Structures are given as structure tokens and as C-alpha cells.
Amino acid sequence: MKIGPKFKIAKRLGAPIFEKTQSAKFELSLARAGARRTNKRPGQASDYKRQLIEKQKMRFTYGLTEKQLRRYIDEAMEKSSQPVAVLMERLESRLDNVVYRLGLAKTRRLARQIVSHGHICLNGKKMTIPSHKVKIGDVITVREGSRHSVLFVNLAETHEVVSVPAWVTFDAKKLEGSMKSVPIYSQAGSLFDPDQVMEYYSR
């Protein structure tokens, strides 16, 4: 998915949704922009605008096209009376996101590249589709031929165990992980509001 100027997009959305915007410089820029807005006549943002911003935050966070997100939304609405939970479970179950959650990549964007370039095996078979849905019990490993890549060679020493969520397990020495339960979405620390996103598509 082609993305425009990341700094400008993140600033417009008011959230550090890209790795290059997760910095003190970006936070300072947001603070200055906020200060300028307080000196102007306050404007009331419409519900549509708020929902649109949250939708864009979700899209860029997971690296989705509009078509992909729309498909996930429609599936969630069809399957459950609690579509937000179903939607977040599906997004978190994407192979690129699971690779990111395991700590094999520092960002989802890098995780997507790692999968696309054939570095990952799912249940022993090479998988190159970032959007593939990982299921409970599936085993994710770094492909044998990729284990000496600079991407993984020092991972056992640098891997941050505390950052791995409870619904997955990972062995940094074996470069192997698995999904042991349904992904649990936590609003804490999230850059977007999925309820607002669902409202956007429910209009």
C-alpha cells in the first residue's frame, strides 16, 4: 500500500501512527499545533469528521487499504452482534500483525515486509501473504534459510519478552512462536477508537 508523507498524515490525524513519527520531535510538533489551535476560535468537529479520523488511524496502524478495511468491517457486522470485538480479533490475527506481536519486527510495516519476502513459515510451510488469518495452535517460525539474516541474527539477545501479549508465545532462541488463544484487544495504549470506526461505516 502506497502511503503519502507520513509526518503530515500523522500530524493531521493527531497520532504517531508511523514509526518515524514516534519521536520527541513529533510530540513537540503536535504540542505546538495544539497551542496554536487554542489561540483560535474553537470549532466543533462533526461526528463524521471524528469518525473519519479514527478510521484513518486504524487503516494506517494496520497498513490496510480502504477495500481491505471495508471487507473486514462487513464480515464483522455479518458475523456478530458485537462487531467491534470480531473486527479487532480479525485485525490482530493477521499474519503480519502476529509477527509484529511476537517481537520478530519492531513495526507492523517491517513485519509485513518480512512475511512478503518469504522469511516466515506457518506450520512448517513458507507463507508470503501478510493478511493470512492465523488460527489458535498455528506455529510461526523464521524460515531456516533466513535465520542468519541481519533481521534475526541477534534477536535472542535483543528480544523484549515483556512486550509479547498473553495470547501468543515465543521462543527467541528457536525463533518460534504460536497463537495460544484468541487475540485480546485492549483499548489502553491504542491510537484509535474502533467504536468510532464502526459508527463511520454504519452510517
Closest by Cα among 100, 115, 98 to 160:
100
Q: Which of 13, 3, 4, 6 is nearest to 192 (CA)?
A: 13
Q: What is the pTM of this model?
A: 0.81
The residues that bridge with 142 in the sheet, in sequence order, are 120
pLDDT tens-digit readout, 4-20: 566 667 666 767 666 65
3-state helix, strand, coil split of the chain in percent (to 5) is 50, 10, 40
CA 150 to chain CA centroid, Å, is: 23
Q: What percentage of the chain exceeds 70 in pLDDT?
A: 78
Mean local confidence (pLDDT), 21-40? 56
Q: What is the dihedral of CA 39, 58, 7, 5, to 10 degrees?
A: -130
State the pLDDT at residue 16. Answer: 64
For residues 76 and 79, what is the distance between their CA atoms, to the nearest angstrom?
5
Catalogue all structural domains in the chain, each as residue range(s) with its CATH number. Answer: 1-39 (no CATH), 49-93+192-203 (1.10.1050), 94-179 (3.10.290.10)
Residue at 8: amino acid letter: K
Q: Give residue-wise pLDDT tens across range 71-96.
A: 999 999 998 889 999 999 999 999 99
CA angle at residue 15 from 192 to 181, to 5 degrees? Answer: 40
Q: What is the mean pLDDT of residues 41-63?
A: 85
Provide the pLDDT for residue 184.
Answer: 84
Q: How confident is the model at residue 180 (pLDDT cuts 50, 70, 90)?
A: very high
